[in-house]
A and B are shown apart, each in its own frame.
Chain A
Amino acid sequence: MEYPEQTIKTEVLIIGSGIAGSFAALRARETGAEVLVLDQGEPGFVGRSSTGTNVNRVVLPDDDHEEALRGSVLQTDFMLDQEYGRECIDETYDLFQAMLSMGADYDRGWDGNIKWMMMETDVKGFYQRQAIWNPFGSYKHLHKFVTTARENGVQYRGHTLITELLVQDGRCVGAVGIDTRTGEFLVFQAKAVVLCTADYHAAGCNNIDHTGDGMAMALRVGARLRGMEFGRICFGAIWPSYAEQQISANERMARTYRNTDQKVRIINALGDEFCENYEWTRALPDRMVGGPSWKNYIPAIMKEVKEGRGPVFYEVNGMKFEVGFCQRASAQTGGVRIDKNGVTDIDGLFAGGNGSDMCGGMHFSIPYNLMGSSFTGRRAGGSAAEYIQDHDYVELDSALVSKYKEEAYAPVNREKGLTEPEVRRRMIDIWPKLDYRTEETLTEAFRELRDLEEEANGMKCGDDIHQLMMSLKIRNVVQLGEAEAVAARERKESRIEHYRADYPYMDNIHYAKWVDVSGTGDDMHAELEDIPFDRYPFKPEPTIVDRCAPANRGDI
């Protein structure tokens, strides 16, 4: 079947219309640039921003910014780029005001003031200030941002799935994709491209559309991904592949976080509150079970299960749910490596939001979440607007475009090959090996994912654009799974939610570093990158930390 082709020209091309995309578009538009925002769904309604979160961590001008940075650094186990963290924390209030002015509807108290919540964290004495918008998931708010951007002259194009970035002579000059309603092949020519795509979720967890397309595309054209090993671990029971449990699970989560009256605890199969026996878990408040300090619980839980006292139960008001162990169910897994201005490794390509690694920012720290997304998005948009001042359009390489076109439509009406559900199924079978991390399992997982990728390159789908879209997206997840395996194998220690069963200690001597993944296929490799601690105010002690250490009862 022949698919028509259309070329669209714009100065700044933004891929993804979530929070990051909106802020990037608004900032780039301020300079008068011509801005086009693409989204695979309807702009303002879909994606990570609209299903992901409702918590906004803000640091007011009068708050202690030094303390906020210290807390964020400790929460991310020193992985945060502290220069980025500092600037992001300083700007959160400004971003918050911007959201308010666009109509974000935060919870307010009886007096009409914003209802601030001070959230306890696992860093002693450090509280995060946060505001919340409802309902959980925020398409209502996101839609307002998109409307504002539209009013400011930003162009939008929905139902456009970008499949590849066009990189010529080391510079990103556009992108190609498919219109998911008409099947038309689209070529975008741009002076600068900003990736504001979402992170990726595993085959089975949560959302089918969080496939990390932007991350995979950037990886394919030579950008580095950072922090891929930090897939957030979730508790399998509370946040499983839940169809029927979803509503109640979300409610339970919400109550757990917000309502201190709830009696929440973790017990093992013998009914013991074993957390008391471990130094890193004993002092944590009950309601933080499974919350921001999940990283502290993982080693203890793994030890209990391994030593035959498992499984472990999460008990809410007497109800018990088995605590599983399921990587990356809820939040981020690193992303495209950026600096604090959203600049990636590739000339002309900028990134922000969840598809970027937010400079080592991690879930539950302040420079992550909505604030991190809007901050990195805004910076990336600003950098792109600056970049187009002295860079012009480049003639597109028609051979490259037609190669991508051929690849994109290859699965249509192919006679033999795997279908998309089959690939998903295979991936779900591989996934436990990526979740229970040892040298052996990770090597095996990488091998199997490589084989699967080879087969997935010959996928088939009927003459249906939706199926084609799904097939193109699932391949990205396979590729990112490989990147995760490679990164996790490189980090021979346990840090944040990355837990290696064979290296259960946090090793600040050798691994207080970032892990970058680059290359594709068999050439995919990870490298350790030094964190410039000499420039940063907070430095880790050069020690090895045992998060599984028995409780030191002496000082109680």
Chain B
Amino acid sequence: MIKSIDPVACVNCGLCEKVCPADLFRMVEDHMTIAYQGDCCNCLQCRYVCPVDAIEFAPVESTKLDMNGEWAAIKKLMGAEDNPMAEITRLPPWELAKRKAASGEADESDQNWKG
């Protein structure tokens, strides 16, 4: 989600206001401001057009657009449960390689992740 506009860098050119599909920006007293931060849709267009790279983004979920948990809800509707093996399969390859090495089951493909 959009975080802030660097007030020092910003030249108030108005490009972000133009490209924003969610209509977030407003020019207030000759200064560009983020008026409706919560509506940000992360399209990053303002960031692409900003000539001075003044716009910062933060990895925060917008509460308005938060669809997290949808898949869990669907699984519940389905009556499906995760396989217990999923926890292990889900691990990133280096973690898997470590575990395999610890239990002495490492094979050739795990060598890539050594060290």
Extra inter-chain contacts (20) besides given A204-B64, A436-B74, CB under 8 Å: A41-B20, A137-B43, A208-B64, A240-B67, A241-B61, A241-B67, A306-B78, A306-B80, A308-B81, A309-B83, A311-B83, A318-B93, A320-B89, A322-B71, A324-B71, A428-B67, A428-B70, A431-B67, A432-B73, A501-B78
Chain B residues lying within 8 Å of A285, measured Cβ to Cβ, are none
Residue B4 lies at the interface, judged by CB distance under 8 Å to chain A: no
- Asked whether any CB of chain B lies closer than 8 Å to the CB of A402, the reply is no
Q: Which of A9-17, A243-251, A355-363 interfaces with chain B?
A: A243-251
User: In whole angstroms, how far apart are the Cα atoms of A270 and B79 in the complex?
Assistant: 19
Contacts of A47 in B (CB 8 A): 21
CB within 8 Å for A204 and B35 given contacts A42-B19, A247-B44, A319-B92: no
Contact (Cβ within 8 A) A308 B83? yes
Chain B residue with Cβ nearest A307: B80
| Residues B49-97 near A (CB distance < 8 A) | 59-68, 70-71, 73-75, 77-83, 85-86, 89-93
Some 20 contacts from A to B, beta carbons below 8 A apart, are A46-B19, A135-B48, A139-B45, A204-B67, A207-B41, A241-B61, A267-B89, A269-B82, A270-B85, A305-B80, A306-B78, A313-B90, A318-B92, A319-B92, A320-B91, A436-B74, A466-B23, A466-B35, A466-B39, A501-B78
Q: Which B residues contact A (CB, under 8 angstroms)?
A: 1, 17-23, 35-36, 38-45, 48, 59-68, 70-71, 73-75, 77-83, 85-86, 89-93
- Give the residues from 238 to 281 in chain A that come closer than 8 angstroms, CB to CB, to chain B: 240-244, 246-247, 267-271
Q: Is the CB of A243 within 8 A of B89?
A: no
- A241 B92 Cβ-Cβ under 8 A: no
Taking a contact as CB atoms under 8 Å apart, the answer to whether A470 and B89 are in contact is no
Docked complex Cα distance between A242 and B45 (Å): 16
A318-343 near B? 1/0 per residue, CB < 8 Å: 11101011100000000000000000
Residues on the B chain within 8 Å of A139, using CB: 19, 45
Check if A310 sits within 8 Å of B66, measured CB to CB.
no
- A residues with CB within 8 A of B: 40-42, 45-47, 50-51, 135, 137, 139, 180, 202-209, 236-237, 240-244, 246-247, 267-271, 302, 305-306, 308-311, 313, 318-320, 322, 324-326, 421, 424-425, 428, 431-433, 435-436, 441, 466, 469-470, 501
Q: Which of A242, A308, A441 contacts B42 (CB 8 A)?
A: A242
CB neighbours (8 Å) of A209 from chain B are 21-23, 41
Of the candidates B18, B74, B83, the one having the most CB atoms from chain A within 10 angstroms of its own CB is B74
Q: Min CB distance, A423 to chain B, in Å?
A: 10
CB-contact partner of B22 in A208, A421, A501, under 8 A: A208
- List chain A residues, Cβ under 8 A from B18: 42, 45
Q: Taking CB as reference atom, which chain A residue is nearest B40?
A: A208
Q: Are A236 and B70 in contact (CB under 8 A)?
A: yes
Closest to A202 in B: B67
Which residues from B are CB-within-8-Å of A470?
39
Across the interface, do A436 and B19 meet the contact criterion of CB distance under 8 Å? no
Task: Determine whether the beta carbon of B89 is less than 8 Å from that of A270.
Answer: yes
- Min CB–CB distance A274 → chain B (angstroms): 12
Q: Is B21 a contact of A41 with CB atoms below 8 Å?
A: yes
Contact B77 A433 (CB under 8 A): yes
List 9 tightest A-B contacts by C-beta distance, closest first. Answer: A244-B59, A204-B67, A324-B71, A269-B83, A241-B67, A269-B86, A432-B73, A318-B93, A46-B21
A208 touches B41 (CB 8 A): yes
A310 pairs with B41, CB closer than 8 A: no
Chain B residues whose CB sits within 8 angstroms of the CB of A270 once the complex forms? 83, 85, 89
Instruction: Say yes or no: A271-B66 contact (C-beta < 8 A), given A41-B20, A243-B59, A432-B77.
Output: no
